[in-house]
Amino acid sequence: MRAAVITFPGSNCDRDMAVAIEKISGTAPIRVWHGDAELPDSLDFIALPGGFSYGDYLRSGAMAANSPIMRSVVAAAGRGVPVLGVCNGFQVLTEAGLLPGALMRNAGQTFICRTVPLKVENAESLFTRSYDTGSTIRIPVAHHDGNYFADAETLDRIEGEGRVAFRYGETCNGSQRDIAGVLNEAGNVLGMMPHPERAIEDAQGGTDGRAMFESIFANLAVA
């Protein structure tokens, strides 16, 4: 299993993501710097971590979406490589056009940092197949710009296509239809605001994030 974690200037969950990948898959991921133009060859999985990127100038994720490495990530996603973007990683994926919609300032204007209930809306995807559809899991969020917006037509389309992976189980950040995680059309790109890598062992206060990594890696084992 060859995984890569991209680090942008300002990423601060890249190490947590790398630890989660290593603990659950048994193999340490390759750490890739934003200025690298090329990804390592034959990757099985790419993770874009949370934190910030390039000061989040202009809009959160807007600068990172145009960084050299993102051209390679977009190309890899197009070839079907699984890509997970968490928090700032989700913002980068929307800005890069890999996922629909945009992430705006939280409706309450405040930074939200707490563990929230998440409803698993689609447990068929390669990221979520170790969960049960309709089950509720508990995963931490920590963000200022997590308010998911897309026009009604886009929302209807992604809901109809089963591309809403997770929904907040309580009022959180003002997201349209409480959407917390979105899949791309092909199902190999997932962006989500909550942090599954922060819920992989009891010491972190919960383990509900493990199943996401188990889903991804189990899928790779059979591929």
Partner 1 sequence: MKVRIHVSLKPGVLDPQGRAVHHALDGLGFAGVEDVRIGRLIELEVADTTSDEALAEMCEKLLANTVIENYRIEKVAA
Point out which residues bind partner 1 (CB under 8 A): 58-59, 62, 66, 94-95, 100-102, 104-109, 147, 149-151, 174
Rounded to an integer, what distance in angstroms lies between the CA atom of residue 173 and that of residue 105? Answer: 8
Tell me whether residue 110 or residue 136 sits nearer to partner 1 (CB atom). 110
Residue 185 CB, nearest distance to partner 1 (Å)? 16
Q: How far is the CB of 82 from partner 1 (least distance, A)?
A: 24
The DSSP-derived string for 125-172 is: STTTTTS-TT-EEEEEEEESS-EEE--HHHHHHHHHTT-EEEEESS--
Is the Cβ of residue 42 or residue 109 nearer to partner 1 in the bound state? 109
Spatial CA neighbour of 83 closest among 5, 29, 16, 161: 5
Q: Determine which helix (DSSP H) or strand (DSSP E) holds 179, and give its type and residue range.
A: strand 179-183
* 195 labelled catalytic: yes
Beta carbon nearer to partner 1, 21 or 96: 96
- 87 has catalytic annotation: yes
> In the bound complex, what is the minimum distance in angstroms from residue 38's beta carbon to partner 1?
22
CA 3 to chain centre: 15
Question: Which active-site residues does the annotation give?
Answer: 87, 195, 197
